[in-house]
Amino acid sequence: MEEHINLCLLWLLFGLSHIALSIQVVRSRMVNLLGEGWFILCYSMIAITTFYCLVSYYADNRPSHEVGFGYSLSGLTGYIGAVLILLGMALLNTCITGYISSPMAVFSQKINSPTGIQRITRHPFLSGFALIFTAHLMFSSAHMNAIFFGGFVVLCVAGMIHQDKKLLSTKGDVYRQYLAQSSAFPFLAIIQGRQKLEFNELPWPTLLMGGTLAIVLYYIHGSLMKSGGLWFITAIVGIAVLELIFAWRVHVLPTWQKKTN
């Protein structure tokens, strides 16, 4: 029971600090105090530290039996879980290259009409994670697993809502129009007729790479949480760092170069 309480507390620490520091009022005051660059560094270090504590504690205290692909996925529900994970990994993988053109990108100032993967979902990173961990939550037979995976689902959904509200308040009608043309839940805007799927715009190599990665993870699933969850932590932090670097190179570096030339 103590492990469950500690895991919940670590989830609150990571989730609340992650969202609280991105609230517009808090963020604006800290940016004014520290500057944009130092704020992002501070935010990133807090996020990485709390994320490391959360994952490493779960990895060291998770149930002795593995709840994962080859163990729980069978029958119709198994196929549903597999589809959720494949789609989630495909969406997640597009963030490495597609993030920089998204309104959610750090340093981004311009909002364009949804194209490519944004026609499917405006939050490929968060919705991809939500799908992956929803599938894991479906087959979690232990409370520790349910808390760990369920926390990610809640955080992803809360993060999507929070990002939309924040950008709506700062960008106004421009982002309101973007919201009307897109959806957070994958394919919802297309199903509702608010958007159409353009196959020639989709990053097929990236999507296929994400699906392939999901298959690879199937075979190494049992080792992802070994060594205190080091592989899992490194992968997630690595994606976040790559996105930040790409956003900086696209949205900030050209401006600096113009000022120095």
Give me the DSSP letters along 172-201.
THHHHHHHHT--SSTTHHHHTTSS---GGG
Instruction: Enter the tokens of residue 125.
Output: 């990173």
In the numeric block, the tokens 């990053």 are attached to 203
- What residues contact residue 66 under an 8 Å CB cut-off, 6+ apart? 221, 222
What does pLDDT average to in each consecutive run of 10 residues of the chain (261 residues)? Answer: 91 89 85 84 90 94 59 69 90 77 74 91 93 87 85 93 90 93 96 94 89 86 85 85 70 59 58
How many other C-beta atoms are found inside a 10 Å radius of the C-beta of residue 92? 22
Do 94 and 242 form a contact (C-beta atoms < 8 A)? no
Q: What is the DSSP string of 91-102?
A: HHHHHHHHGGGS
* Eight-class DSSP state of 73: -
Of 162, 169, 178, the closest CA to residue 118 belongs to 178
pLDDT for the residue numbered 258: 62
pLDDT for the residue numbered 145: 86
- Measure the CA–CA gap between 240 and 117, rounded to whole angstroms: 18
pLDDT for the residue numbered 49: 94
pLDDT for the residue numbered 121: 95
- Measure the CA–CA gap between 118 and 112, rounded to whole angstroms: 10
In the numeric block, the tokens 């919705």 are attached to 127
Of 248, 231, 257, the closest CA to residue 41 belongs to 248
- Measure the CA–CA gap between 15 and 17, rounded to whole angstroms: 6
pTM, entire model:
0.84
How many other C-beta atoms are found inside a 10 Å radius of the C-beta of residue 25? 7
Instruction: Enter the tokens of residue 108.
Output: 């981004």
- Measure the CA–CA gap between 160 and 163, rounded to whole angstroms: 5
Do 211 and 205 form a contact (C-beta atoms < 8 A)? no
